[in-house]
Structure 1
Amino acid sequence: MEIAKNHVNGEGKGYCPCKSCANSKRSLQNLATIYAHIHDRGFLQSYTTWVYHGEKYSNASEIERMWASNADNPPLTNNEMFDALDGVIGEQNTYEENVNEHGDGLDTEFDALFKELNTELYPSCNWMSSLNFLAKLMHIKVINKWTDSSFDQLLEFLRVAFPKENKIPASHYEAKKKLRKIGLGYQFIHACINDCALFWKENSLMQNCPVCNESRWVDKNTKGKKVAQKVLRYFPLTSRLRRRFSSRFTAKDMIWHNTGRSTDGMMRHPVDGNAWQEFDNRYPNFAKEPRNVRLGLAVDGFNPFGNMSQTYSMWPVVLKTYNTPPWLYMKESSFMLTLLIPGPKSPGKDIDVFLRPLVDELKTLWTDGVQMRDAHTETIFTMRAALLWTINDYPARSSLSGWSGQGYKACSTCNEDTPLCSITNKIAFVGHRRFLTKNHKLRENLLFNCQKETRDPPKQLSNAKILKQLQGLPIRVPGKHPSHGGVKRKRAVSELNWSKKSIFFELDYWSSLLLKHNLDVMHVGKNVCESLLGTSLMNEKSKDTPKARQDLEKMGIRKNLWLTKNNNKFYQPHAPYSFTPIDRERFCKFIRGVRLPDGFGSNFKNKVLPNNSNKIGLKSHDYHILMQRLLPTGVQGCLPSNVSTTIIDLCTVFQKICARSLDVKNMEKAHKDVIKILCNLELIYPPAFFDIMVHLVIHLPEEAILGGPVYMRWMYPFERYMKKLKAYVRNKARPEGSIAEGYVADEALTFCSMYLEGMQTKFNRPDRNADADIPKRHLHVFSSQCRSISKKKIISLSEDVRKSLEWFVLSNCDEIKDYKS
């Protein structure tokens, strides 16, 4: 490099002697890039006389040999895949673990890819390589969702139509096999059929489970290749993070959290939350390198066969980087599938067994880090990574955290002091007056439970106290073998809900995090709205049951709602929180008549029964729209004012929490408001209404202050992503294998599509409702971009309407202001 400094042009660029550039005039680079290329790809072994860097040649044959190594196969023009492979090779070995014994940093697979890169699609086709053609064709297939059979037919036709000796693959399988070399692959890890252990590392050679002694194989006596009973698919995290830094398109976004954070006090990204800032203060060495990665982990189970009668639960583990800007958060291309936990049964509490490979890799990334090349700055640095939190629905949160979401202490935030009362065959989470200030008048109100409230609000335990609680837990043997368990016992009221110490506590920083497991606002909002609507419409989701009325009688409150007996039959008086038949029809008619913008939500006309008596088939996002947009309007005039006002206030709180930008003061006010709202709800609804989901609403504003905007911490994008994973299943006998292969192929195509030019990709696809270009108008008032959504229709304007339109044009057109008197 010292010699190269003296042989650069006026722009500071010179010939790069790496194995890829090979001193090509096309690949003049600056010194930092030359250093990185040699470090990544290895030095061109045939370059022994440095004629491009000042050394004089001895004879003509030496020069001829140098030109032969460089110019015999000149690079094809219009070859975008050169830059794509440049990024792939940059990943491969800067690093000792991937260098082969000759130290050249390139294996035979990438040699073959470079050969394809410089191979003409057919003889004399010097404008497109076979690899470039293949990447574009495969991308068109994915964008337009062609079937494999239709793609096979197209390839067969193209092979015949193009000149002979073309390099078009014979089938989709062959095409996918070539492009898979650009992908990052995955590992097979055998698991015990009872979820006791992985046959990995120290257990890799064992034939039976070290815990329950079950055989590793389906048929252990077979003479051929043995088949494992259960296989975990692991997609290494380090290589996927390395790819993000090795591409110039994604590397620049990995420091956005350091350069683009808010300066006006508003929270628009998790970096603005208290949890992130506390982490940076506690670990300043990690925080001072902006390229260190912050991760969020999402886990959820789904049935890969849809709503078929076959029960099957597969659990993908997805990671998301929080270094990037907010507008990239919802993109599927920013998700990294790291584990695919096989079915058919949910792992439950034994999910820690399957998380072992990922946690071990996270430990390495935290303590030692990994050397990476930053394509944005062309430098090599040591990258470290930390897991900030998890994002799950409440059952999955229980499996990951180790705190059961059922029973007397279902709220992990309130912990041992969860507010509740026992009712008929159920636990009601009531008593939110405790959260009010000491002198609040509602504390004296006897209408709640015939008692005054004198207790203090539950205290949130510090991290040290939580660790102290975990120290006394008995060691739990993992797995579902019959010999491990026994009869499911009922937990005593005095017992805590800890079932295990989560594997995440093995991470050095985990115990100090302020927000470890997010409450999923998607599911909380959906369940709360479902309870409100079900109870008002009196459908199958109603909480107003005969047992709920009996609870009121036992507690001695709201006598007007007690069951009445007449002729040996019990009657349920009408409650103020439920619609009358006329109001129910009016409310459903209102919902049925709603027309939403394209792509905003479902067609609610299909979600209400034709007789306007009830709702059917609502999804989580439908409840989200109802709660924040439609319910506040729909209940007005259909319910008493005290009931409708309380529901509207609750909907307003959800609107504030789910905003794209949050103000800490507004969130603190929302926390105070939601306490009063829950207290008012306790005066309206029976205790049976207050399940754990309703109680969790009280903690949502506090978590928003810690974690930042909710839309970057809820399950909506991950639920949509699981729908995409489900679409990968082509072979229903092997759903996990189908998803793994489909993900790796799509991962490779997504990476290639960033470099493709002159075609539509998922990164430059126009919006669904992109307006077409319209001719330039002379008057500004007519220059708005729009397009019609239906057939044009000529109408006659009344005199009043025409005059109003003329007045609007004359009043808002700047071009004629000089002519106004």
Structure 2
Amino acid sequence: MWDEFRKEPFTLQAMIFVTINDYPALFSLSGQFKRKVGCVECLDETSHVYLAASNKLVYMRHRRFLPRGHKYRLKRMDKYFDNRDEAKYVAPSGRSAGKRVFQIVSKVTFVFGKKTKDGKKRKDVKASEGDTFNKMSMFFKYLPYWKDLDIRYAIDGMHVQKNVFTSLIGILLDVKGKTKEGLNSHLDLVNLGIKKEFRPIPQPNGKYLLSAASYNLNPEEKHEICVWLKTLKEFTVETLSQLEMCFPSSFFDIMVHLVVHLVGQIEALDPMYLHEMWTYEHFMSILNGYVSNHAHPEGSMIEAYTTEEAIEFGGPLCNKCLKDQIAIGLPLSRHEDRLYGKGQMGWKPFIPLDYNTVLEAHHNILHQLSIMEPLIEQHMNELHEQNNGHIEDLVMKEHKLMFTTWLQDKNILDEKTMEEQTIKKLASGPSCQITTW
């Protein structure tokens, strides 16, 4: 590139300091095992519990992320959680630091291909006890500074918020196919030996009666939840601990657990919108629209994208060089001749839905003009005479409602001075029709 200050060319270099992926792609990129060590921040200190009845792995015990001495970490609170003494446990810190991870992955031997050395299929290879990674990330090999970064993989807030919200609303509103509360979740509580009041009660017909919980809502309460969701904020660690006291264990999948790490990543990587998947998901939807040949989708994307770039960037240049010619197949720019008051979109009149807002703005403008002070004073005196004995607030309210109409009824004559002409035009009030270009 060209340095205008130094008047010399220079090589512009880019730096990858964090990646943004959905969670499955993150495991493929980082080389980390899923399931038992499935937290990108906790790594080998990921606290997991296997639920036999639900046949799933969940991630609970969020009290350790609270400060020591917090009321939820006291021993008397253990019965409301999982009967585990959390006072002696601390939250994992620095487990995902680049230098520590680099020391671990440097010892990992990975054989590329569909099968490993012992003939097993790659997808059947699972983590052994104590293993955290199955391969070294390519970034450690090609980026020498990668091991110096504390956070290399951003948690995608978009998917976390969406999945946690779906789980939460599914269990609160008892959405079919989305709720994680049922017979299996109650049997898991029996296996864990916690929340005995929620144990399923066998019935003579062989079925089970499930006890009602605090999150089982009636229709009125479900409606209130929908109203409350309008002001819903991000969950905190304390909120997750409260959820552990009432929700079944099957609720706490990896997405729920990742909420506790979002604040730390926001502090390190700045606002959430800078490291979310929204931008990339939107761009991928655009690329998917370019696919016309499903046998070769990449070729369709490249052809359509380069064609669009040629039209967008080459079109204005051609029009500039050939001013008197008409471009075939290229639409006129909507900004063409805009500085000359022409435009290409044409004019479009419309009436604003809330015309009272326009009237209120007009009233405020009238009261800011010194030339209107005599008329304002005259109208106020008339109102005081008509509403003798009424409080001042009532008179001011009447003045605000009737002043514009009162001006129009006065039939102010056209005068020669600029001030008198201004009063005449303002007295007619604002137009109810707005024209846009």
Q: TM-score, normalised by structure 1?
A: 0.39
Q: 1:93 — aligned with what?
A: none
One-letter identity of the residue aligned with 2:208: F
Q: 2:98 — aligned with what?
A: 463
Q: Which runs of 5+ in 1 are unaligned?
A: 1-371, 591-629, 634-647, 655-673, 766-770, 775-785, 794-800
1:418-567 map, 5 Å: 418-424=46-52, 425-444=55-74, 445-446=77-78, 447-453=80-86, 454-461=88-95, 462-474=97-109, 476-480=110-114, 485-486=119-120, 488-492=124-128, 494-506=129-141, 507-538=143-174, 539-567=176-204
* Whole-angstrom distance in 1 between the partners of 2:274 and 2:316: 24
3-state SS of the aligned residue for 2:47?
Answer: coil
CA contact (8 A) 1:415 1:460 kept: no
C-alpha spacing 1:808/1:380, structure 2 compared with 1 (3 Å): closer
One-letter identity of the residue aligned with 1:813: H
1:750 to partner: Cα distance: 3.5
1:809 to partner: Cα distance: 2.2
1:809-820 map, 5 Å: 809=363, 813-815=367-369, 818-819=373-374, 820=376
**Residues 562-602 of structure 1 deviation map (CA, whole Å, 9 limit, x = unaligned):** 21222222022232223324544x469x6xxxxxxxxxxxx
Q: 1:652 aligns with which of 228, 233, 237?
A: 233
1:739 to partner: Cα distance: 1.3
* Whole-angstrom distance in 1 between the partners of 2:314 and 2:211: 66
1:159-170 map, 5 Å: none
Q: 2:36 aligns with which of 401, 404, 408?
A: 408
3-state SS of the aligned residue for 1:738?
Answer: helix
3-state SS of the aligned residue for 1:496?
Answer: coil
* Whole-angstrom distance in 2 between the partners of 1:707 and 1:761: 38
1:560 to partner: Cα distance: 2.9
* Whole-angstrom distance in 2 between the partners of 1:684 and 1:532: 12
1:95-106 map, 5 Å: none
* Whole-angstrom distance in 1 between the partners of 2:306 and 2:7: 27
Q: 2:11 — aligned with what?
A: 382
Q: 2:287 — aligned with what?
A: 725
Q: 2:351 — aligned with what?
A: 788
Aligned-residue identity in percent: 31
CA contact (8 A) 1:731 1:738 kept: yes
1:256-655 map, 5 Å: 372-373=1-2, 379-404=8-33, 406-424=34-52, 425-444=55-74, 445-446=77-78, 447-453=80-86, 454-461=88-95, 462-474=97-109, 476-480=110-114, 485-486=119-120, 488-492=124-128, 494-506=129-141, 507-538=143-174, 539-567=176-204, 568-584=206-222, 586=223, 632-633=229-230, 651-653=232-234
* Whole-angstrom distance in 1 between the partners of 2:47 and 2:82: 13
C-alpha spacing 1:744/1:479, structure 2 compared with 1 (3 Å): farther
* Whole-angstrom distance in 2 between the partners of 1:762 and 1:502: 47
* Whole-angstrom distance in 1 between the partners of 2:12 and 2:177: 53
1:683 to partner: Cα distance: 1.0
C-alpha spacing 1:409/1:631, structure 2 compared with 1 (3 Å): farther
Q: 1:685 aligns with which of 221, 238, 247?
A: 247
> What is the RMSD of the two structures over their aligned residues, measured on CA atoms?
3.5
* Whole-angstrom distance in 2 between the partners of 1:455 and 1:491: 25
* Whole-angstrom distance in 2 between the partners of 1:455 and 1:448: 15
One-letter identity of the residue aligned with 2:156: D
1:7-46 map, 5 Å: none
3-state SS of the aligned residue for 2:314?
Answer: helix
The answer to whether the aligner puts 1:705 opposite 2:263 as a matched pair is: no
1:396 to partner: Cα distance: 0.4
C-alpha spacing 1:480/1:764, structure 2 compared with 1 (3 Å): farther
1:513 to partner: Cα distance: 1.9
Q: Which has the higher contact order (CA 8 A, sep 6+)?
A: 2
* Whole-angstrom distance in 2 between the partners of 1:393 and 1:652: 22
* Whole-angstrom distance in 2 between the partners of 1:378 and 1:760: 34
One-letter identity of the residue aligned with 2:136: K
One-letter identity of the residue aligned with 2:83: C
**Residues 459-479 of structure 1 deviation map (CA, whole Å, 9 limit, x = unaligned):** 2233222111112212x2212
**Residues 711-764 of structure 1 deviation map (CA, whole Å, 9 limit, x = unaligned):** 121111111111111111122332221112112222333433575679426999
One-letter identity of the residue aligned with 1:815: L
Q: 2:314 — aligned with what?
A: 752
* Whole-angstrom distance in 1 between the partners of 2:282 and 2:334: 20
One-letter identity of the residue aligned with 1:450: N
CA contact (8 A) 2:185 2:249 kept: yes
Q: 1:49 — aligned with what?
A: none
1:532 to partner: Cα distance: 0.6
1:207-218 map, 5 Å: none
1:483 to partner: Cα distance: 7.5
* Whole-angstrom distance in 2 between the partners of 1:375 and 1:388: 28
One-letter identity of the residue aligned with 2:134: S
3-state SS of the aligned residue for 1:427?
Answer: strand
**Residues 162-196 of structure 1 deviation map (CA, whole Å, 9 limit, x = unaligned):** xxxxxxxxxxxxxxxxxxxxxxxxxxxxxxxxxxx
3-state SS of the aligned residue for 1:652?
Answer: coil
* Whole-angstrom distance in 2 between the partners of 1:694 and 1:806: 48
Say which structure is richer in helix.
2
CA contact (8 A) 2:156 2:275 kept: yes
CA contact (8 A) 1:754 1:763 kept: no
CA contact (8 A) 1:562 1:573 kept: yes
1:557 to partner: Cα distance: 2.7
* Whole-angstrom distance in 2 between the partners of 1:764 and 1:544: 63
1:209-228 map, 5 Å: none
* Whole-angstrom distance in 2 between the partners of 1:531 and 1:763: 50
C-alpha spacing 1:563/1:762, structure 2 compared with 1 (3 Å): farther
CA contact (8 A) 2:102 2:140 kept: no
1:676 to partner: Cα distance: 0.9
3-state SS of the aligned residue for 1:745?
Answer: helix
**Residues 51-106 of structure 1 deviation map (CA, whole Å, 9 limit, x = unaligned):** xxxxxxxxxxxxxxxxxxxxxxxxxxxxxxxxxxxxxxxxxxxxxxxxxxxxxxxx
Count of paired positions: 345
* Whole-angstrom distance in 2 between the partners of 1:711 and 1:428: 28
Q: Which runs of 5+ in 2 are unaligned?
A: 324-331, 339-344, 378-437
C-alpha spacing 1:486/1:806, structure 2 compared with 1 (3 Å): closer
CA contact (8 A) 1:753 1:761 kept: no
3-state SS of the aligned residue for 1:575?
Answer: coil
One-letter identity of the residue aligned with 1:576: S
* Whole-angstrom distance in 1 between the partners of 2:69 and 2:238: 14
1:433 to partner: Cα distance: 0.8
C-alpha spacing 1:789/1:496, structure 2 compared with 1 (3 Å): farther
* Whole-angstrom distance in 1 between the partners of 2:280 and 2:165: 21
**Residues 352-397 of structure 1 deviation map (CA, whole Å, 9 limit, x = unaligned):** xxxxxxxxxxxxxxxxxxxx33579864112222212211000001
1:244-263 map, 5 Å: none
* Whole-angstrom distance in 2 between the partners of 1:812 and 1:564: 74
Greater C-alpha radius of gyration: 2
1:526 to partner: Cα distance: 0.6
* Whole-angstrom distance in 2 between the partners of 1:703 and 1:812: 52
One-letter identity of the residue aligned with 1:455: Y
C-alpha spacing 1:569/1:452, structure 2 compared with 1 (3 Å): same
1:558 to partner: Cα distance: 2.5
